[in-house]
Chains A and B, each alone.
Chain A
């Protein structure tokens, strides 16, 4: 069973029963505007002109009171219950996107990275086709709603999807993964999604900036950039920020991969000055955007930026780049999850 959806541009697509308008549009190769696909950012606003939909998340933060008054909805939270006519502002198609596919995924390996981060490795029935830096939405058993996690590996023929995930205190999904999941468990994996992937044809020096589990997509971008012959003569940086010295896992991760180890210029900062002092940390102390400014201030506009991390980090960093240093927004790539 599926429903016929028609946009104000006369573009039509099918939406399978239970699928959201946004996911169905992307599966059909239609360039809907979106970033988080999780109700948070508000990029995928639409109006339903006729027909009816079920809203998965009343009060989703991506929709303001003003939006609600104007009858706007989030395409990522709307599941049609009839054929629908909708109003949407489609994006220009600047690149070929990979159509997302839903598949059953089996957990086959868990690797601890730090006290509160681990890599969870899944195998799907569907092909593991995605661009470096993209994410997938996971439906975990017993957890309401989907969670977005970015792949840390590259597209492959072995159907493998790797995710570096942080254990968030009281986070339902991460608690399930860290405390209860075991090899052999099955989840629903839907992807790929996201627009903050490596643009291999842009041959500027590359700066990846990550905090926490934002490292996952940046590891994929670093690997893809190192393999890209067009980027052979480019510098590739990784700036990683953590709260304590124990969070700084990047030296180990990079040295485990010889290509990355030889090529990536890596800088780390620890933000909690007291713990840094207590644990005799000799590296940089402060926020990762401050470290970036310290290292590359004079040449920031000459770089291509790929960013993933907690909202305060992303916000401070993008503001600094765009407002203080006038880095063109086209050179700053990140998916807004808030």
Chain B
């Protein structure tokens, strides 16, 4: 099993209020809660330079703040134009109330 890094505590993230974290050796990441589960994706939109956590979480979608494009926070799939390229997602583990992802970006 690979090493994990802690991104934040589960209490730091609430549904519809995703947060941005910047761990070392990773791009800027977005952490979400949806339906009691936690998800992590890259935080830069694949369409233009935009920070997704500045946008709106709508159920299991995160909407870019600028052009209304959206991604599924579970799979990274682009769900609304103009976004086409999926966004990278990370497998989440919960350890002692902390949201963690593998230390080595795969």
* A323 and B51 contact, CB distance less than 8 A: no
Chain B: minimal CB distance from A22 (Å):
15
A319 to chain B: which residues have CB within 8 Å? Answer: 49
A156 at interface by CB-CB < 8 Å: no
A326 at interface by CB-CB < 8 Å: yes
B58 to chain A: which residues have CB within 8 Å? Answer: 70
How many residues on the B side are at the interface (Cβ–Cβ under 8 A)?
16
Q: Do A318 and B68 contact each other (CB < 8 Å), given the known contacts A64-B80, A326-B27, A329-B28?
A: no
**Assembled-state Cα–Cα distance A336/B65 (Å):** 12
B91 at interface by CB-CB < 8 Å: no
**Assembled-state Cα–Cα distance A43/B70 (Å):** 15
Partner of A42, one of B27, B49, B65: B65
* B27 and A329 contact, CB distance less than 8 A: no
* 0/1 interface trace, chain A 53-70, chain B, CB 8 Å (1 if under): 000000001111111001
Q: Which applies to chain B's interface (DSSP): helix, strand, loop or mixed? A: loop
* B67 and A42 contact, CB distance less than 8 A: yes
- CB-CB nearest in chain A for B47: A315
Chain A: minimal CB distance from B87 (Å):
12
* B70 and A66 contact, CB distance less than 8 A: yes
Q: Do A315 and B66 contact each other (CB < 8 Å), given the known contacts A64-B80, A323-B27, A329-B28?
A: no
Chain A residues packing against B (C-beta within 8 Å) = 41-43, 45, 61-67, 70, 315, 318-319, 322-323, 326, 329, 336
Further contacts, 17 of them, CB under 8 A, given A42-B68, A62-B67, A322-B44: A42-B65, A45-B65, A61-B67, A64-B67, A64-B80, A64-B81, A66-B63, A66-B68, A66-B70, A67-B68, A70-B58, A315-B49, A319-B49, A323-B27, A329-B28, A329-B49, A329-B51
A and B contact pairs by CB, cutoff 8 A, 13 listed: A41-B66, A42-B65, A45-B65, A62-B66, A64-B67, A64-B81, A66-B68, A66-B80, A67-B68, A323-B27, A323-B44, A329-B28, A329-B51
Chain B residues packing against A (C-beta within 8 Å) = 27-28, 44, 48-49, 51, 58, 63, 65-70, 80-81
